[in-house]
Amino acid sequence: MKACRWIALILCAAAFLFGCTHGETSSRAGTGMVKVMLTDAPIDLSTVQSVNVTLTGVIVYPKESTDPMGTILEGSPISLLTFPATFDLLTLTGGATALLASGEVPAGAYSRIRLEISEATMINTDGTTTPLQIESNKVDVPIRFEVGVDATSIVTLDFDAGASVQVNSTGSGAFILRPVVTPVP
């Protein structure tokens, strides 16, 4: 009978230790800093002077983890952009970057960044402005990154204006913004 109690106690202690260490991949105690940068590959539209995109949200999502029972635990998303900001994507070519958003976040692993777009316009070389219809105002960029305790992590996203601006195929001639955003290694 004593042996059964000892075995049960050892199994409980092992399960407790496994549960304590199993979730450590998703977060650590403390906070760190994350900076999200924006860049753009060159555009092929020769009659375009600028492509302006107004962002109203930049949100980072912690990496999902599982508890000892196998239940998926999702951390709360963290908003980094608190006011609208407009960026001319064509000024961000040739290796140029702009700070999109930054903020203090819990240390740990993250799996994606969401950009929320409220408006987009194209300014042509003749000075006319063309509004861009936004097909989806939310763009999820899958990107895995770590934020260490008392450290700053820099993440750069390429918002490809040339691939994102398209002419409506229905023949109306309207320009549509279908955001193509990828992480820069």
pLDDT tens for the chain, 185 residues: list them: 443 333 333 333 333 333 443 444 445 578 888 988 887 655 456 788 999 999 999 999 998 766 677 666 667 899 998 789 999 998 998 889 999 999 999 999 999 999 999 999 999 899 999 898 888 889 999 999 999 999 999 999 999 888 888 766 555 667 888 888 989 88
Could you tell me the two tokens for 137?
């105002």
pLDDT score for 176: 84
pLDDT score for 16: 37
> Could you give the CA distance from residue 185 to residue 183 in angstroms, rounded to a whole number?
6
Contact by Cβ (8 Å): 65, 113: no
Quote the longest CA-to-CA distance of the chain: 90
Domain range enclosing 149: 2-183
pLDDT score for 52: 93
pLDDT score for 1: 43
Q: For residue 60, what are the CA distances in angstroms to 83, 97, 120, 183?
A: 16, 19, 22, 13
> Could you give the CA distance from residue 182 to residue 78 in angstroms, rounded to a whole number?
20
The residue to which tokens 């635990």 are assigned:
73
Domain count along the chain? 1
pLDDT score for 162: 82
Contact by Cβ (8 Å): 114, 59: yes
pLDDT score for 26: 45
> Could you give the CA distance from residue 111 to residue 143 in angstroms, rounded to a whole number?
5
